[in-house]
């Protein structure tokens, strides 16, 4: 398995991680727990060492799932989790954000129990809290790092200015933000800041929440609890208009004897050596397909073809529901 370092932090992980959110939430009913335990362990067998979760996924149940699945492999893997949303002790979502230092410590203690571990390798602030100075948040995580309960600080969906302010208090190892062929906003301001500061990028939804695989079209229906029902980019009209992205990927994939998903992931990997995408899945054959992207090296001509094609395309529809967009720092 290819390895990558997240910026200058020294944190080394497999070049592709596994996003585990969809095993417990967001994409319809939770998958069978024991089947997901086996899938996560199979990912370890295949060389994946980087696993992404959050207290908000479930809530709580995704961390518990990873805790069970990774317990036999704890010293061989890197676990990333997140704090920052308002969630009560029963797991009820309260709708806002909360990054007060006392709350950060409370979440970490609970996450450690659920993950069955004594340290969190990478701890992200899930969303920026406008009521708490980022310096206070970074300071709280710095204290936890000093106690050995956390190894590295991460941010998610933070602006360039917020990243710089946090990094001045406690070095930021990684930023997690949406980045893919149909969501390239980080290229404008975020990537240059990360490069300058030596911070890695962990793209979530690197396959466009499944759309860039080519398996979704304007006639696809989702489970009523699937969050994509609320996403403007996933209306039938937007999906029909955005099909051009899949057509571009499919043309390159056919020539390279690959799949659109593999080309999409290989394109991300080619952007910077410190980018580590975390595609999620609940199916073994999709996990194996995604990992196949690591063997796909896009030639300069392939990258130029994709770049030229993207220059003619416009993404239709907002990437997240309005309520979540308001909480992002991008």
**What's the whole-model pTM score?**
0.97
Q: Omega into 265 within 30° of 0, i.e. cis?
A: no
Q: Domain residues of the chain, as ranges?
A: 3-325
Q: What is the DSSP letter of 7?
A: T
Instruction: At 30, list the tokens.
Output: 């939770």
Express as a percent the part of the chain with pLDDT over 70: 98
Domain 3-325, CATH:
3.20.20.100
Query: C-alpha distances in angstroms, 137 versus 8, 84, 132, 153, 232?
Result: 21, 10, 7, 10, 32
pLDDT at residue number 330: 44
What string of pLDDT tens digits covers the 330 residues of the chain? 999 999 999 999 999 999 999 999 999 999 999 999 999 999 999 999 999 999 999 999 999 999 999 999 999 999 999 999 999 988 988 889 999 999 999 999 999 999 999 999 999 999 999 999 999 999 999 999 999 999 999 999 999 999 999 999 999 999 999 999 999 999 999 999 999 999 999 999 999 999 999 999 999 999 999 999 999 999 999 999 999 999 999 999 999 999 999 999 999 999 999 999 999 999 999 999 999 999 999 999 999 999 999 999 999 999 988 777 666 544
Would you please indicate which residues are annotated as catalytic (active-site) residues? Answer: 57
CA distance 235 to 237: 5
CA distance 152 to 9: 8
* 18 DSSP β-pair partners: 51
Element (H, E) at 301: helix 300-310
Instruction: At 17, list the tokens.
Output: 């991680």
Which one, of 329, 214, 200, lies nearest residue 269 by Cα? 200
Phi and psi at residue 87, to the nearest 5°: -140, 130
CA distance 126 to 156: 5
């Amino acid at each position: 398995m290819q390895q990558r370092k997240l910026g200058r932090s020294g944190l080394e992980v497999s070049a592709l991680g596994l996003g585990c959110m969809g095993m417990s939430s967001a994409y319809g009913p939770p998958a069978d727990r024991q089947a997901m335990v086996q899938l996560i362990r199979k990912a370890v067998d295949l060389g994946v060492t980087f696993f992404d979760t959050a207290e908000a996924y479930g809530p709580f149940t995704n961390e518990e799932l990873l805790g069970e699945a990774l317990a036999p492999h704890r010293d061989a893997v890197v676990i990333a989790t997140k704090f920052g949303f308002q969630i009560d002790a029963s797991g009820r979502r309260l709708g806002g954000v909360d990054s007060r230092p006392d709350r950060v410590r409370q979440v970490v203690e609970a996450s450690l129990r659920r993950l069955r571990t004594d340290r969190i390798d990478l701890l992200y602030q899930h969303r920026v809290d406008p009521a708490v100075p980022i310096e206070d948040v970074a300071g709280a995580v710095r204290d936890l790092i000093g106690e050995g309960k956390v190894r590295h600080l991460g941010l998610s969906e933070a602006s360039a200015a917020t990243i710089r302010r946090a990094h001045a208090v406690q070095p930021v190892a990684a930023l997690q933000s949406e980045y893919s062929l149909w969501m390239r906003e980080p290229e404008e301001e975020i990537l240059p800041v990360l490069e300058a500061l030596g911070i890695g990028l962990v793209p979530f939804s690197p396959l466009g929440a499944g759309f860039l695989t080519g398996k979704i079209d304007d006639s696809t229906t989702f489970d009523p609890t699937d969050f994509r029902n609320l996403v403007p980019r996933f209306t039938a009209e937007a999906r029909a208009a955005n099909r051009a992205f899949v057509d571009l990927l499919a043309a390159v994939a056919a020539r390279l004897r690959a799949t659109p998903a593999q080309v999409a992931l290989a394109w991300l990997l080619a952007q910077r050596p410190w980018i580590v995408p975390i595609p999620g899945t609940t199916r073994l054959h999709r996990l194996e397909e995604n990992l196949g992207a690591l063997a796909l090296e896009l030639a300069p001509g392939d990258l130029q073809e994709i770049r030229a094609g993207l220059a003619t395309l416009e993404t239709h529809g907002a990437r997240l529901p309005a309520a979540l967009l308001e909480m992002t720092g991008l």
